[in-house]
Amino acid sequence: MALCAGALVIGGCTYDEPITAKPTRKIEPGLIGDWTSAGDQKEHMRVRQLDERTYVLSYEEELYRAYHSDVAGLPLVSVQSLQPDQRKYAYLTWKLAADGKTLTLRVVNDKVIPETLKSSSAVRKRLKENVRNPELFQEEARFSKDG
């Protein structure tokens, strides 16, 4: 989930507010584990359960907090950097393969959902307006579950 293939995914922490102030549902157990990105540069992400509704992510030695922020039928995640100097959010969608071994992540396109939106309600409204917009998400990043 949460998550991210390089700067493509989690490096997109540019929003001041999460999509939703609180998680919209409990964690997805299949997301817990160690993941390695596809492609030439192998990047590693660890997803752990913090509590029944929140994840902690370790990605290339950086820590993030993440939770489900589903809107308009989209499986979205609000991912917050836990670095002291940058506590901003990234917005991602995710899809776990039926076999639980492949995780696909896509970051929300900041040209469609601009970082100038300053409230969670404005973000949710824009997401709902663009739910069918093919430009809503950037390129996908794929991860394989280790082990």
Q: What is the CATH number of the domain that holds 45?
A: 2.40.128
The H-or-E segment that residue 59 falls in is strand 54-59
Is there a domain that residue 116 lies in? yes
CA distance 96 to 70: 15
Q: Is 26 within a domain? A: yes
Counted domains in the chain: 1
pLDDT of residue 51: 97
Has residue 13 been placed in a domain? yes
Residue 131 falls inside a structural domain? yes
53 domain residue, yes or no: yes
The parent domain of residue 33 ranges over 6-145
E strand or H helix that includes residue 43: none
Q: Does residue 25 belong to any structural domain of this protein?
A: yes
Pairing of strands 102-108, 137-145: antiparallel
The verdict on residue 1 lying in a domain is no
Task: Report the pLDDT value the prediction gives residue 92, as an integer from 0 to 100.
Answer: 94
Residues 50 and 89: their CA atoms lie apart, in Å, by: 18
Per-residue pLDDT of the chain (147 residues; tens, 9 = 90+): 333 344 445 556 689 999 999 999 999 999 999 999 987 778 899 999 999 999 999 987 889 999 999 999 999 999 999 988 788 999 999 999 999 999 999 999 999 999 999 899 999 999 999 999 999 999 899 999 997
| Beta carbons of 58 and 79 less than 8 angstroms apart | no
Asked whether residue 133 is assigned to any structural domain, the reply reads: yes
Residue of 64, 24, 30, 27 lying closest to 49 (CA atoms): 27
- DSSP label of 83: B
